[in-house]
Structure 1
Amino acid sequence: MTQTTEKLADRTRGTDAGPEVRESAAAPAKKRDAFFDNVKYLAIVLVAIGHAWEPLRDGSRLVSALYIVVYSFHMPAFIIISGYFSRSFDFGPGRVRRLLTGIAVPYIVFEVTYSLFRRWAADDPSMQITLLDPWYLTWFLLALFVWRMTVPIWRQVRWPLPLALVIAALATTSPDIGDDLDLQRVLQFLPFFVLGLVMKPEHFQLVRRKEVRILAVPVFVCAVGFAYWAVVRMNMAWFFHRNSAQEMGAPWWVGVLMSFALFGCSLVLTACFFAWVPGRRTWFTALGAGTLCGYLLHGFLAQSAGIWGWYGKGVPDGPAGAVLVTVLAAAAVTLLCTAPVRRVFRFALEPEMAWAFRKRD
């Protein structure tokens, strides 16, 4: 699979949740950290489960509550890890090439493919192919591209995280931002990426202590209980971070308060999630290298289920149906993260594209 020392160094260091930056050809290969691969795999499983639960929310208050809890931390966890592995990004030739081949090209390929799939599967000729308005899952690739381009700026700022929080809060007060480039999500999720940039290995060790793992149990129980109470009283769109406060029928100042409150809640639950992730190698550790593949491909299954009405064909009502859907979603995304699937789709997710770049001196 690995053909050069440069590629090996790159892949052993990076994260597919946020495609990694490339080290120099002379850099020695670094051993992958099992903890981060475990985080990526478990987070992508939660992403797939969350999408599988979406059609079940109207029929179950408990599913809706669990959905809220999962959505409050699964993408923040991905984004924090992506920021952490973007710390060394600069505009060196190797890193720029990896930015283009590992993020920009997959974004273009899957944005076009998703749009064509929607037009065909849903018989929706109004579905336009545009690279300026990401549809469904591709928003994350576009956001990651923008965030990574700003890394050198955050390195020069004295208080990067507070500044990012202010930017996110201001975005919630700005309905005129519009849908181009999905800027609301880019800006509202920005603090998590910046947090990853400023984190150090010892910060992850801090949340993985035994006492934190124990404390995480009542925290999650309380979170589920609060979500169960709030599900009929609160607009769940806040957790998607894609609209301004005014677009959700709230005054602008509520957006500021919610921005800080949701960041705090997401950070606590993400820390609890990190505390539970094993640091040793497990049967699923190797799957952490294929999370980008699982992330992008499982979207076709999720969309197909909604378009073709799979939930009304053989899925039992009540808790049994929710459990069945959960297991199937976890199994499907696990399969999509495996090495054989990655090899099949490497042309779109990890293209070499040597022909497109100048030769290095």
Structure 2
Amino acid sequence: MFHAPNAFQRPTLPPASRESEPRHHAPAATDGGPAPASGRSAQAPAAKRRDAYFDNAKFLAIVLVAVAHSWVPVMDGSRAARALYMVTYTFHMPAFILISGYFSRSFDMSPAKVKRLITGVAVPYVVFETAYSLFRRYADDPTAAISLTDPWYLTWFLAALFVWRLTTPLWRTLRHPLAVSLVIACLASLAPGIGDDLDLPRVLQFLPFFVLGLQLTPEHFQLVRRREVRMLALPLFAVAVVFAYWAAPRMELGWFLRDSAAQDMGNPWWSGVVMTLALFGCATLLTAAFLSLVPRRPMWFTVLGAGTICGYLLHGFLVKGAGYAGVFDRNEWMISPIGLVLVSVVAAAGVTLMCTPPVRRVLRCVTEPDMNWAFRRDAARL
């Protein structure tokens, strides 16, 4: 799922920050904990209460992200695994991005919000892009370079969120922002010379989901949580799995990653436009179905929704580390159905542990750093 880190950390956001909390929700607690007892002194500042629904959505989405990443090394030769991968990749990142956009609606380039963007998105990106590059260099490729303009593996999302958030005032101003963003995504899907700086193809091709999130209102989330929608969600997923099973040997997975142009995959240019629009429609439907199934009440995993930034940024070390260690190569039985289930369970358990409050506290220095020393005290007045 879910903005990262706002989407990951404060749902009242894959992945919300104080500056982007929608007024219709009860404010979110800064520590992700429950609301204070009503008997607390009136003089004390009221603690903010998190929205359990969005915390649940973020946690379930990050579990899907980790599990889908774990399938990559073991799904070769398994048509069923490839189909599940296609279905999951159709909506898990779009869901994160959509929620990120929803909680970015109030971003207006004010000093406080720019500061939060730098400390909550730019700093984690620099730290973890460097960490992943060093990890890759010492574990697999001694020649791997450290480049902050070329995101590796999963850090692209932080770079994309930084760009999307900066452009929020523009999308809030346009008359038909979603249509414009879809045109941009279509053009990116047929422009092989666009370059890989900041993973720009993904930034542009996933852009419509962020813009869609900016257009949503509380009533839209109430709508997808209606009983009628929930009853349609499971049949919709069943149809999607059946179709994906049929399409698995016929469709390239690059369409779901959205990191290449159609020509880069050996397809005609017009197929980029067709697939961009088709996948946007499918992703929107499956995201709505997913959100309709998310529990609205507090669950045992609700508290973990506040730490999904940690789960997102750390689970890559688990998945890539297992690959570098040859875990998947030495055990051919992992490509069997039992192996696929085992890998999924391990990935889900690992990312769950990474979202726990102790891990979040340890990583707060890089995911929620206090950098007052770097900013002028009179910035708001200026």
TM bracket (short chain): over 0.9
> What is the match of residue 289 of structure 1?
306
CA contact (8 A) 1:19 1:103 kept: no
Report the CA distance shift for 1:32/1:239 in structure 2 as closer, same or farther (over 3 A): same
Describe how 1:4-43 pairs up with structure 2 within 5 A.
14-15=12-13, 17-18=14-15, 20-22=17-19, 29-43=47-61
Structure 2 residue runs of 5 or longer lacking an equivalent are 1-8, 22-44
> What is the match of residue 29 of structure 2?
none
* Structure 1 CA distance for aligned equivalents of residues 236 and 254 of structure 2: 23
Does residue 213 (structure 1) correspond to residue 210 (structure 2)? The answer is no
* Structure 2 CA distance for aligned equivalents of residues 91 and 266 of structure 1: 30
> What is the match of residue 104 of structure 2?
86
Does residue 309 (structure 1) correspond to residue 306 (structure 2)? The answer is no
Residue identity matched to 2:254: A
Does residue 63 (structure 1) correspond to residue 81 (structure 2)? The answer is yes
> What is the match of residue 113 of structure 1?
131
Residue identity matched to 1:155: R
CA contact (8 A) 1:287 1:334 kept: yes
> What is the match of residue 271 of structure 2?
254
Report the CA distance shift for 1:174/1:21 in structure 2 as closer, same or farther (over 3 A): farther
Residue identity matched to 2:289: C
How far off is 1:22 after superposition? 3.0
* Structure 1 CA distance for aligned equivalents of residues 241 and 219 of structure 2: 29
* Structure 1 CA distance for aligned equivalents of residues 88 and 129 of structure 2: 25
Report the RMSD for the aligned CA atoms in angstroms: 1.9
Q: Secondary structure at the match of 1:135?
A: coil
Report the CA distance shift for 1:265/1:234 in structure 2 as closer, same or farther (over 3 A): same
Structure 1 residue runs of 5 or longer lacking an equivalent are 1-10
How far off is 1:13 after superposition? 5.4
Does residue 230 (structure 1) correspond to residue 247 (structure 2)? The answer is yes
Does residue 173 (structure 1) correspond to residue 227 (structure 2)? The answer is no
Q: Deviations over 1:258-297 (max 9, x none)?
A: 1100000011111110111011100001100111110000
* Structure 1 CA distance for aligned equivalents of residues 235 and 109 of structure 2: 44
Does residue 49 (structure 1) correspond to residue 46 (structure 2)? The answer is no
Residue identity matched to 1:269: L
> What is the match of residue 323 of structure 1?
341
* Structure 1 CA distance for aligned equivalents of residues 295 and 15 of structure 2: 21
* Structure 2 CA distance for aligned equivalents of residues 185 and 28 of structure 1: 40
Match for residue 92 of structure 2 among 68, 74, 84: 74
* Structure 1 CA distance for aligned equivalents of residues 86 and 326 of structure 2: 23
Residue identity matched to 1:355: W
How far off is 1:203 after superposition? 0.3
CA contact (8 A) 1:173 1:255 kept: yes
- % identical aligned pairs: 62
Give the TM-score normalised by structure 1: 0.93
Does residue 264 (structure 1) correspond to residue 281 (structure 2)? The answer is yes
* Structure 1 CA distance for aligned equivalents of residues 131 and 177 of structure 2: 36
* Structure 2 CA distance for aligned equivalents of residues 86 and 237 of structure 1: 28
Q: Secondary structure at the match of 2:221?
A: helix
Give the TM-score normalised by structure 2: 0.88
How far off is 1:56 after superposition? 1.3
| Number of aligned positions between the proteins | 349
> What is the match of residue 362 of structure 2?
344
CA contact (8 A) 1:107 1:141 kept: yes
* Structure 2 CA distance for aligned equivalents of residues 205 and 44 of structure 1: 22
Q: Secondary structure at the match of 1:58?
A: coil
Residue identity matched to 1:107: Y
* Structure 1 CA distance for aligned equivalents of residues 154 and 269 of structure 2: 27
Does residue 151 (structure 1) correspond to residue 171 (structure 2)? The answer is no
* Structure 2 CA distance for aligned equivalents of residues 289 and 77 of structure 1: 17
How far off is 1:39 after superposition? 0.5
